[in-house]
């Protein structure tokens, strides 16, 4: 039996009233059971996309199917099949954690007894069992994200949309959320999240789309994206030599003979080589240098990061891209998301 993709987006565009073009024609597909990431700086169009997929925001053009349902045809059907946790958390501070969960379940048509059972189960899962009877207003930032995530899971959705699920959290809370998400994905839940954190995308997502200025820049698995940027870099610094004249040239020549080495160059204290795979190239490099009797003091392999991927495709670092963004206009942009006039 052929399953429809969890998300299928074709030619999606969004222009806000006032002319801001938040999404400029994007296509992507998320298969069922995937862990898919939308990576980009603030203001790239990530939140707008998630809000459109979740039926909270109308699109300007394009076609979107979620869980095999056209969002224009049956928005309620889409809403019933997905769980959503947005960046502006939208919690009810005066409500107790457990009451919030039960209500979430009820709103999605879960029966009373089942909603109560699920609430306890999920409080346990996200490590909030002890504070279920406390008002959400008294929760810390990490606890709020966790109760929100639990709320999105009350009706056991097959697809989960998360907008920056860990932004602003301390490392421990981030790790806890990551573990919950990995566990859910292992149980078959399709997860699509947005993030501006490279480490998060790298750890969680099996496939990534990089978005910048409302356009998809590139798409693929984190390792394929990194491999596309270029190979690993091996840096060698030489040890003490009695008569160093000509030795550097000999070493460079030896390295350039190696099939694993794509490029090699000298540095003030040694050599640098670009290779496909640092793990297998490093021993060969050491052997070649030994053969020409060049002592090695230090050898380091650096792999390209997703930062390099972003830099490679956009010409900017993601942090710089963030700095470009006017924080105020972003907040209002999101606000206008609900306030569609």
Whole-number Å distance between alpha carbons of 289 and 271: 11
Among the residue ranges 83-91, 179-187, 232-240, 318-326, the one whose residues contact other proteins (CB under 8 A)? 83-91
The residue (of 78 and 205) whose beta carbon lies closer to other proteins is 78
Least distance CB 187 / other proteins (angstroms)? 22
Does 80 contact other proteins by CB under 8 A? yes
Least distance CB 106 / other proteins (angstroms)? 5
Least distance CB 131 / other proteins (angstroms)? 17
> What is the spatial order of strands in the sheet that 232-238 belongs to?
261-267, 270-275, 232-238, 296-302
- Residue 184's Cβ-side half-sphere holds a number of Cα atoms within 13 Å equal to 30
- Residue 5's Cβ-side half-sphere holds a number of Cα atoms within 13 Å equal to 14
Least distance CB 155 / other proteins (angstroms)? 9
Does 55 contact other proteins by CB under 8 A? yes
Does 141 contact other proteins by CB under 8 A? no
Does 72 contact other proteins by CB under 8 A? no
Q: For the chain, give me the number of helices (H) and strands (E)?
A: 13, 14
Does 52 contact other proteins by CB under 8 A? no
Among the residue ranges 86-94, 238-246, 256-264, 290-298, the one whose residues contact other proteins (CB under 8 A)? 86-94
3, 60, 88, 290: residue in contact with other proteins (rule CB under 8 A): 88
Q: How many residues bind other proteins (CB under 8 A)?
A: 30
Is the CB of residue 191 less than 8 Å from the CB of residue 152?
A: no
Does 338 contact other proteins by CB under 8 A? yes
The residue (of 24 and 99) whose beta carbon lies closer to other proteins is 99
Whole-number Å distance between alpha carbons of 113 and 121: 12
Whole-number Å distance between alpha carbons of 33 and 189: 5
Does 104 contact other proteins by CB under 8 A? yes
3, 61, 107, 326: residue in contact with other proteins (rule CB under 8 A): 107
Among the residue ranges 25-33, 50-58, 123-131, 285-293, the one whose residues contact other proteins (CB under 8 A)? 50-58
How far CA 256 is from CA of 53, 238, 250, 252, in Å, comes to: 51, 17, 10, 6
Does 284 contact other proteins by CB under 8 A? no
Alpha-carbon Rg for the chain in angstroms: 25
Among the residue ranges 13-21, 38-46, 81-89, 321-329, the one whose residues contact other proteins (CB under 8 A)? 81-89
Least distance CB 90 / other proteins (angstroms)? 3
DSSP character string of 150-214: HHHHTT--SEEEEESTTTT--HHHHHHHHHHHHHHHHTT-EEEEEES-HHHHHHH-SEEEEEETT
Does 277 contact other proteins by CB under 8 A? no
Q: By CB under 8 A, what part of segment 146-185 binds other proteins? A: 151
CA 146 to chain centre: 18
Other C-beta atoms lying within 10 Å of the C-beta of residue 68? 15
Among the residue ranges 84-92, 122-130, 174-182, 194-202, the one whose residues contact other proteins (CB under 8 A)? 84-92
Sign of the torsion angle spanned by Cα atoms 221, 222, 227, 230: positive
Among the residue ranges 17-25, 37-45, 196-204, 333-341, the one whose residues contact other proteins (CB under 8 A)? 333-341
Q: How far apart are the first and last CA of the chain?
A: 43
Other C-beta atoms lying within 10 Å of the C-beta of residue 23? 26
5, 21, 89, 237: residue in contact with other proteins (rule CB under 8 A): 89
- Name the site residues for other proteins (rule: CB under 8 A): 54-56, 58, 76-77, 79-80, 84, 86, 88-95, 99, 103-104, 106-109, 135, 151, 335, 338-339
């Amino acid at each position: 039996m052929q399953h429809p993709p969890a998300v299928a987006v074709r030619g999606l565009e969004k222009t806000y009233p006032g002319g801001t073009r938040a999404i400029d024609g994007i296509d992507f597909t998320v298969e069922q059971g995937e862990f898919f990431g939308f990576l980009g700086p603030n203001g790239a169009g990530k939140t707008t996309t998630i809000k459109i997929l979740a039926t909270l925001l109308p699109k300007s053009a394009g076609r979107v199917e979620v869980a095999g349902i056209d969002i224009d045809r049956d928005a309620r059907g889409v809403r019933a099949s997905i769980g959503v946790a947005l960046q502006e958390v939208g919690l009810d501070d005066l409500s107790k954690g457990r009451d919030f969960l039960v209500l979430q379940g009820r709103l999605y048509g879960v029966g009373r007894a089942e909603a109560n059972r699920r609430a306890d189960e999920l409080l346990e899962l996200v490590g909030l069992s002890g504070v279920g009877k406390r008002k959400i207003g008294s929760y810390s930032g990490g606890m709020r994200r966790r109760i929100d995530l639990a709320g999105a899971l009350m009706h056991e959705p097959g697809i989960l949309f998360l907008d920056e699920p860990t932004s602003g959290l301390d490392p421990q809370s981030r790790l806890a959320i990551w573990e919950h998400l990995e566990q859910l994905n292992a149980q078959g839940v399709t997860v699509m999240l947005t993030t501006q954190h490279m480490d998060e995308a790298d750890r969680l997502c099996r496939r990534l789309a990089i978005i910048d200025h409302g356009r998809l820049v590139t798409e693929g698995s984190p390792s394929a994206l990194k491999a596309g940027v270029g190979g690993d870099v091996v840096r060698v610094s030489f040890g003490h030599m009695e008569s160093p004249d000509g030795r550097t040239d000999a070493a460079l020549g030896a390295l350039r003979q190696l099939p694993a080495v794509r490029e090699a160059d000298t540095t003030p204290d040694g050599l640098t080589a670009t290779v496909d795979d640092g793990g297998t190239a490093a021993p060969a490099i050491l052997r070649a240098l030994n053969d020409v009797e060049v002592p090695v003091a230090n050898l380091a392999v650096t792999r390209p990061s997703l930062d390099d991927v972003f830099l490679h495709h956009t010409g900017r670092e993601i942090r710089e891209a963030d700095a470009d963004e006017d924080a105020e206009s972003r907040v209002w942009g999101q606000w206008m998301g609900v306030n569609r006039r």
